[in-house]
Amino acid sequence: MVWSVIEPGEKGQDPDTGPEPHVGHGQPHAGHTPHAGDQTRARILSVALELIADHGFAATSTREIAERLGFTKAALYYHFRTKDDLLAAIVGPAMADLEALIERGRAVRTPEERRDLVKGYVDLVATHADLIRVLASDPSVKESAGLHAALPVFRRLVPLLAGADELDTAQRTRVRAALTAVHGALVQAQPADDPEIVRATAFEAACAVLGLPAEDAGGPAEVAAVGKGGPG
Amino acid sequence: MVWSVIEPGEKGQDPDTGPEPHVGHGQPHAGHTPHAGDQTRARILSVALELIADHGFAATSTREIAERLGFTKAALYYHFRTKDDLLAAIVGPAMADLEALIERGRAVRTPEERRDLVKGYVDLVATHADLIRVLASDPSVKESAGLHAALPVFRRLVPLLAGADELDTAQRTRVRAALTAVHGALVQAQPADDPEIVRATAFEAACAVLGLPAEDAGGPAEVAAVGKGGPG
DNA sequence: GTCTATAGCTTGATAGAC
DNA sequence: GTCTATCAAGCTATAGAC
């Protein structure tokens, strides 16, 4: 579980998980200027994410992805050198967002600021819900080469949310619970569920676990009122 | 994710997921009387669970399991007809516990009783932590034949924890958040963490999310059904 | 109860035509 | 930029010897 809050024995990893466009035998393009291939690449990423989020990384074959895209495995390997590279490219944007959130969180000091950090995390997870389903869900992902870098990054979020540098077991556990609560709330949401309600509820749940003030949820007034747990 | 609280379009499945001892070509035993093979069977289940919890179901091969056990794949297939059957056998005990918990929960009415139900769930997850890591973590598991029965069972827990039969989005989301919080807290616990502290913190987190009184005799804070009625 | 041997299939990945 | 053709390696599962 890559998004596990704490994992033993993981050294610093090479951070070059950039979504470099792999170029095959013909080297048609090497930089950032948009080409027709970029659109194909985007299609691949979208389809692959959908399938992987559904069946898991290990259980999703390149053949399946290619078939769904309407072409062959070989064409897929033109765009991505390996299956792991494909996964790294899928994960890239969310990791960038997470890095940004952590950077923003470094200045956090008051409970209200931590609450805003939680809100930011909820938004991040909501934005990348399908991806989070993969990262937080699929054990086979953690064995993927390009993903080892994600873990240390994620871990930096923990003390920020806890509001302290040195954490005891209860504090660590509380943060783990809060983060997975957010994951579960957003990832397991049904299509019929109003996203805003889901998001607000996830936020409130995390705040409740962390003992943070849950006001200013940012949704409709009636939504913010729900779930304070009790009257009074 | 089998332990997802809600999943669309799932019909009733055949409930015969009993851990029937598969008997191979020689039919050495067919009933419940203990044999030497039962010990081997138990060893298989233990080793398989460990590997699957680590790498995921799809990413764990029968060869890997057999190798770790010190014998060959063929020997494994003597005890279990298919890889899916092996998974079903692993899952069996936890499912039985869950059924028992739900049966117990059918009589729940007061918030205090619901709190006790939460406690029971925490204990269940703690007892089967490795297994929960598989069920809640591995998307490939939900495609396993023997596991479809688990989902409807699990779903019956939701209204019991929410304290109502008809749930709105916020209520469902809150229960999902509480359950995944428990999962995360217990499954991600490190060896160095005191299990009792972890367990207590997971319990408190779930109660906080659900708006239940976390203390036994402490707070007389009356709480109606989850999410019903805000502070307004 | 565990073995060898193997069938039959799918996988991730490559080479080279077009 | 996508194809066909191909590969070695891995997989689940079976048959039958011991």
Structural domains of chain B sorted by starting position, each given as residue range(s) with its CATH number in brackets: 36-210 (1.10.357.10)
The predicted pLDDT at position A33 comes to 63
DSSP A156: T
Q: How confident is the model at residue B156 (pLDDT cuts 50, 70, 90)?
A: very high
Nearest protein residue to D5's C1' (by CA)?
Answer: A74
Chain-centroid distance of CA A205 in Å reads 18
- Amino acid A22: pLDDT: 61
For testing contact with chain A, the best of B51, B64, B209 (most A CBs within 10 A): B209
Q: Is the pLDDT of residue B171 over 90?
A: yes
Report whether B209 contacts B118 (CB < 8 A): no
Which of A173-187, B28-42, B150-164 is least confident? B28-42
Query: In chain A, helix, strand, coil percent, each to 5?
Result: 60, 0, 40
At A8 the pLDDT is 39
- Please, which positions of strand D sit below 7 A from a protein CB? 1-5, 10-18
pLDDT reported for residue B151: 84
Å separating the CA of residue A74 from the C1' of nucleotide C13: 9
Answer yes or no: is A144 CB < 7 A from strand C: no
pLDDT of residue A68 exceeding 70: yes
Which residue would you say has higher pLDDT here, A183 or B6?
A: A183
Residues of chain B found within 8 Å of residue A174, distances taken between Cβ atoms = 185, 201, 205
- Among B21, B40, B49, which residue's Cα sits nearest to residue B141? B49
Distance from residue A63 (CA) to nucleotide C11 (C1'), in Å?
9
pLDDT of A163 > 80? The answer is: yes
**Cβ–Cβ contact A182 with B under 8 A:** yes
| Cβ–Cβ gap A185/B176 under 8 Å | yes
Q: How far is B224 from chain A (nearest CA, A)?
A: 7
User: Which amino acid type is present at position B166?
Assistant: E
CB contact, 8 Å: A53 with chain B? Answer: yes
- Report the pLDDT averaged over residues A208-231: 58
The answer, yes or no, to whether residue A59 has pLDDT greater than 50, is yes
A82-108 residue pLDDT tens: 999 999 999 999 999 999 999 999 999
Q: Max CA-CA distance within chain B?
A: 70
pLDDT digits (tens, 9 = 90+) for A115-151: 999 999 999 999 999 999 998 889 999 989 878 888 8
pLDDT value for A216: 58
What pLDDT, on the 0 to 100 scale, is given for residue A13? Answer: 37
pLDDT of residue B57: 96
Measured between alpha carbons, how far is B32 from A93 in angstroms, rounded to an integer? 54
Cβ separation A193–B211 shorter than 8 A: no
pLDDT band at A23 (very low <50, low <70, confident <90, very high): low
- Residue B32: pLDDT band (50, 70, 90) is low
Question: Nearest C-alpha of chain B: how many angstroms from A96?
Answer: 24
pLDDT of residue B137: 85
Residue B20: per-residue pLDDT: 44
- pLDDT tens sequence across B61-91: 999 999 999 999 999 999 999 999 999 999 9
- For D16, nearest residue by CA–C1' is B25
Specify the nucleotide whose C1' lies closest to residue B78 (CA): C1
Residue A38 confidence (pLDDT): 81
Assess B211–A contact: CB distance below 8 Å, yes or no.
yes
What is the rounded average pLDDT for all residues in chain B? 83
Helix, strand, coil % in chain B, rounded to nearest 5:
60, 0, 40
pLDDT at B190 over 80: yes
Q: Which CA distances in Å does B143 have to A140, A196, B181, B230?
A: 16, 30, 24, 40
Q: For A168, name the nearest residue in chain B, comparing CA atoms only.
A: B193
- B2 band by pLDDT with thresholds 50, 70 and 90: very low
Which pTM was predicted? Answer: 0.85
